Amino acid sequence: MGWLVIVALVLFLLTSSNVQQVAERIITKTQQQMSQVVKNFKIPSLADRYETTVPTSKSSQSQKQQSDVRGEKATPLESNVKGKTLKNVYYYRFASGTPEKVRREFLSAVKAYNATKIVKLVAGTGTQKQNQIVFSIYDTAQKGQAGVIELGVGGPVIIQQTGWDAYTVNHAKASLNVHYVQSVRLSVAMHELGHALGLDHSTDRHSVMYPVDQGRTALSQADLAALQQLYS
């Protein structure tokens, strides 16, 4: 039970920016305990690189939306959720400072994922032992190749506790890069929320998990199959 109290204290301290130094000291002290609790901790990194090159025209987008469900390539799962048993209920919230227009896109994405009935995303904070998603924004100018823009990041953060009190939860994150207006779109929110829930990049253009934004806002049959695999 000792580590639980410490973890709660660290989390509390981390949220108060004026006591960061104290938090850092405590983190160093409890690093060993933490490593026992967090078995598989994947920080959603900028490596996601959900990108767009040039905006595609409206007409070509609507043509692409008519997906042929047959012959779709499977949507893979993020490596850190493979083989894990996760409950299908998530509590989601917005980080402070998340603009209204961004909230709107994420809420539409939440609605779309809830419509699948495979996962259930509920507004709220949730407890340490419950799945959570935090939606947020960041502001980063592109550093990669010319004409390539990073639109967002997202991913699962798996916390696995073993022993008598065993549980596995996902405290996920999904974030839009507000440096670019192209990021604040439902298709980008769908993609980053997909990562948060454990979906990895797909090579299939019908998937919302295709790594280049095509304006796709509907989950493909392969996307649904991947969610089903993970949450049932």
Q: 195, exposed or middle or buried, with CB in 10 Å at 0-12, 13-18, 19+? A: buried
The least CB distance from residue 32 to Zn ion, in Å, is: 33
In the bound complex, which residue of the shown chain has the CB atom lying closest to Zn ion? Answer: 50
Nearer of residues 23 and 216 to Zn ion, judged by Cβ = 216
Residues 155-194 as x/- pattern, contact with Zn ion by CB under 5 A: ----------------------------------------
Short-list 221, 183, 178, CA closest to 202 = 221
113 lies in the site for Zn ion, by CB under 5 A: no
The least CB distance from residue 219 to Zn ion, in Å, is: 15
Nearer of residues 48 and 204 to Zn ion, judged by Cβ = 48
Nearer of residues 10 and 172 to Zn ion, judged by Cβ = 172
The least CB distance from residue 167 to Zn ion, in Å, is: 27
210 lies in the site for Zn ion, by CB under 5 A: no
Short-list 72, 108, 53, CA closest to 209 = 72
Size of the site for Zn ion (CB under 5 A): 2
Which CA distances in Å does 67 have to 10, 50, 58, 105?
A: 47, 21, 16, 22
Nearer of residues 126 and 215 to Zn ion, judged by Cβ = 215
Nearer of residues 150 and 161 to Zn ion, judged by Cβ = 150
Nearer of residues 48 and 223 to Zn ion, judged by Cβ = 48
Nearer of residues 23 and 176 to Zn ion, judged by Cβ = 176
What angle do helix axes 186-197 and 221-231 make, rounded to 10 degrees? 30
The least CB distance from residue 66 to Zn ion, in Å, is: 23
Strands (E), 23-138: 50-52, 89-94, 120-123, 131-138
Short-list 189, 190, 171, CA closest to 126 = 171
Q: 139 and 130 in contact (C-beta within 8 Å)?
A: no
Residues 19-58 as x/- pattern, contact with Zn ion by CB under 5 A: -----------------------------x-x--------
What angle do helix axes 2-15 and 20-37 make, rounded to 10 degrees? 140
The least CB distance from residue 178 to Zn ion, in Å, is: 17
Interacting residues of 196 by C-beta distance below 8 A, sequence separation 6+: 44, 133, 154, 155, 156, 170, 172, 173, 174
The least CB distance from residue 117 to Zn ion, in Å, is: 24
Q: By the criterion CB under 5 A, which residues form the site for Zn ion?
A: 48, 50
